[in-house]
Amino acid sequence: MQPIIVPDKRGKTGKVTLDMVREIVKIAKFYKAEDNRIRLKEFTRMLAEEKDIFLSSKSVGDILTANGLRSPRTRQKQPVFYQKLRQKIPNGLVSIDGSEIKIYIDDQIVKLNLEMVVDTNSFAHTAFSVSAHESSDEFIKVMESHCRQWGTPIGLVCDSGSANLSALSRAFLDLHDIKPVPAGPANPKGNGTIEGAFSQLKNVIGSIRLNTSSPEALAKSVLQTVIAVYIKMRNKLPLERTVKTPAECMTGPVSDECRFEVEQKLQNQIKIKNFSNEDQPKLDLIRCLIKNMGIHADAAAITRAEKSITFYNMKAILETEKAFVKAVNRKKERLCLPYFFGILKRIQQDQDDDAYKRQCQERYNYDQMKKQIQEHEEQRKPKPSTVQNVLNILVTAINAPVKYLKNVSLRRAKEWTSELIQTTKYIGTLRKKFEKKLVEMSQLNLEQKNKVWGYVTELLSLNSDEKSVTHFS
């Protein structure tokens, strides 16, 4: 066995310098000018191989973002708010959809559409139809079959296909007082019931291959037989180890109160963590919003809303409240929790992206880095000496615990005093400045002031001769 050699990059990456940023920005702008798309990992690899710039892809991405060459992207940190569609009573909510089934006849493939209805509570497969294409007629045909055998459901969940939401389909649902519930995106409790049913069905029947000279008629009859057998067998098996089978659940009695509760819950679809003190304002806001605006929501939806809103920033929540009120005033159908959290998710994502962009600009923006380096170099330049600095270092000299510290302080005082003398025309004026500043130093006693003044007098007299001051005692 040959060992896998992994290249060791330890010690090769270093601090991001101004030259690195300038080179990366230059290459990235050339890519943009040539209308080439910058793929981050390939771009990072190219920098290491051709330009000897060894940085991680994250650092390179931050540099590109800071200089406006890459759009900021942040990971979503907040939980997605959704309302559970699945109901607790049979025939409360049914799911309908169509799926393509392929029949292999000799060397020919016949594609047929299977339209099927499944109860979301019991997982009972209640009706189906096979046709050449998915259409509104098939939708109505399957729903009529379901209603004849099992009764009229309260609600119906389906996707946004043209067959399900056509004028004929809506007229049929309105005639039977069936509430259509759209299966929105990013909702794990949406139209997944019927999709799971199709998946299990196809796994059971597998691929159908026939050798005959009558393709379409035989394919349709065989497929109808196979599906009928599957549904009969599937309805005899309970779901999630329940006591009753799906067929028994569908025939169970349901009170009018339960049906009314489900109807109210579906109407809202159409239109537990212990919280800290910091989350209390967020909870108060969502509760007041629900109460004051009259948002109808069941207990489960409110609980999830309170749990989800704690992960968002208060600034984003306040902006969302304003945008939500304006949107509802324009269109009353938007008065629901999913629409509120949809706005909140977008605003929070924009704020996170802006914060990430500002962070990158503070660290890796070329102009900003160049300005910071210039300011740092200016700070490192020796500052002009002042009278106060000379007095302070003389105080350090007289209080120095050891002799060499005293000598160093006196040498520095001599250098600064020489600079002050060179910038002053009259020694008398400089002497008066020393005298005035020394009087203002109230932290010194009279003895200390006399010692400091003695040093000042000696240093000012060195203007004519360059004697050392290290011999002072």
The pLDDT tens digits of the residues spanning 242-264 come to 567 777 777 777 778 887 777 77
Tell me the one-letter amino acid at 189. Answer: K
Per DSSP, the three-state class of 23 is helix
Tell me the one-letter amino acid at 232. Answer: K
How open is the CA angle 134-137-141, to the nearest 5 degrees? 105
Query: Comparing 6-15, 67-76, 108-117, which segment has the lowest mean pLDDT?
Result: 6-15
| Cβ–Cβ < 8 Å for 112, 98 | no
Domain ranges for the chain: 1-71, 93-250, 270-361, 387-463
For the ranges 180-184, 209-213, 226-230, the one whose mean pLDDT is highest: 226-230
Closest to 305 in 3D by CA, of 262, 332, 345: 345
Looking up tokens 């199709």 gives 198
Give me the phi and psi of 324, to 5 degrees please: -65, -40
- Per CATH, the homologous superfamily of domain 93-250 is Ribonuclease H-like superfamily/Ribonuclease H (3.30.420.10)
Element (H, E) at 97: strand 93-105
| Cβ–Cβ < 8 Å for 126, 146 | yes
Sorting pLDDT into bands at 50, 70 and 90, what band is 467? very low
Exposure class string for 26-58: b at 16+ Cβ within 10 A, else e: ebbeebeeeeeebeeeebbeebeeeeebbbeee
Radius of gyration over alpha carbons of the chain, in Å? 40
Query: Comparing 29-43, 83-97, 333-347, which segment has the lowest mean pLDDT?
Result: 83-97
What is the reported pLDDT for 106?
A: 74
Helices (H), 399-469: 403-422, 427-440, 446-460
**402-430: pLDDT as tens digits:** 676 788 888 888 888 888 888 877 788 88
Torsion of CA 32, 36, 42, 43, to 10 degrees: -20
User: pLDDT at residue 268 above 80?
Assistant: no
- The model's pTM is 0.44
What is the reported pLDDT for 272?
A: 42
For the segment 340-365, the average pLDDT, to the nearest whole number, is 89
- Burial class, 356, CB count within 10 angstroms (exposed 0-12 / middle 13-18 / buried 19+): middle
| 165 CB-near residues (< 8 Å, 6+ apart) | 158, 180
User: pLDDT at residue 469 above 50?
Assistant: no
